[in-house]
Structure 1
Amino acid sequence: MNYWLIKSEPSTYSWDDLVKLGSDHWDGVRNFKARNNIKAMKVGDLCLFYHSVNEKSIVGIAKVVKEYYKDPTTDDHRWYVMDVEPVRKLKRPITLAEVKAEPRLNDMQLVKYSRLSVQSVKEDEFGIILEMSEQ
């Protein structure tokens, strides 16, 4: 299993929107690195769901339920989506400031490449985020 972080502006698409739908495709990615990450995702991989812009916090865990396919929101064949479903909301959101303040997360892509909308997460980083959310 691999771990990822997917970002969305909550005013556009929030954790609650995903929960309400139960399952949905992750669209609108227009960055080649993020696209390649989508192509690497496998069914069962877990994703940290991050609210960007104003909130800047990890709020939940989603699971990949369908691997990449052409993005239905564009005619451009270079872009892909994958389907995710909610697993659970974190006990408490983990802010970007908390991530940056945690020395064990210094190398996390969220810290180094904060604008990338779909990023890989190391297994230990995923565990640290879950641990932090329990505190």
Structure 2
Amino acid sequence: MSTRKRYWLMKSEPSDFSIDDLQRVGTEPWTGVRNYQARNFMRQMQVGDGVLFYHSNTQVPGIYGLGEVACTSYPDPTQFERRSKYFDEKATLEEPRWYLVDVKYVRHLDNPVPLDLIRTHADALGEEFALIRKGSRLSVLPVTAAQWKILLGLEHKA
């Protein structure tokens, strides 16, 4: 029995790691997530799940490309590296606290889908869509198949 493909939105600041960087390297570990809910979402990810690559903290925040989950979750090694800004003194090799997945580049969007355009489709996306829900600041969040289809449909309306 095969598992159903899931969809996710993953945020990155383009000054730290952009869709161009992902294209250049091909596949990258998604390190540094330090929110338990976002971590738990990554622990649910399966190989082949779709990823909307979202640029945050930039002049025009929005969805800039597509990726794919390349492996199931495993402990984020940066939690153990004392010199890393993501070091966690409470994490141990026996009991890691933080997990990540590798994300593989699929493609750039022909036209990025800006957050302002996404907000104009709030009714169609539904109240549960965390990206536009007030107070939600998750860097990794689930996207339903219907939301995925709506958001990719905006690629040629931007």
TM-score bracket for the superposition, by shorter chain length: over 0.9
State how 1:41-52 maps to structure 2 within 5 Å: 41-52=45-56
1:105 aligns with 2:125: yes
Q: Greater strand percent: which structure? A: 1
Query: Is the CA contact 1:6–1:49 (under 8 Å) kept in the aligned structure 2?
Result: yes
* Cα displacement (A) at 1:114: 4.1
Aligned to 2:104: 85
Aligned to 1:37: 41
Larger mean CA deviation between 89-98 and 1-10 belongs to 89-98
* Cα displacement (A) at 1:106: 3.8
* Cα displacement (A) at 1:134: 2.1
Aligned to 1:16: 20
Structure with the greater alpha carbon radius of gyration: 2
1:36-67 Cα offsets, whole Å, 9 max, x none, are: 00000000000100000123110011000111
CA distance in 2, matches of 1:134, 1:96: 14
**Structure 1 residues 114, 58: CA separation in 2 closer, same or farther (over 3 Å shift)?**
farther
CA distance in 1, matches of 2:61, 2:136: 10
Aligned to 1:122: 144
* Cα displacement (A) at 1:3: 0.3
Give the aligned CA root-mean-square deviation in angstroms.
Answer: 1.1
Larger mean CA deviation between 78-87 and 97-106 belongs to 97-106
TM-score by length of 2: 0.82
1:60-97 Cα offsets, whole Å, 9 max, x none, are: 11000111000011122100110111111111111111
Specify the code of the residue in structure 2 equivalent to 1:35: R
Extract structure 1 runs of 4+ deviating beyond 6 A. none
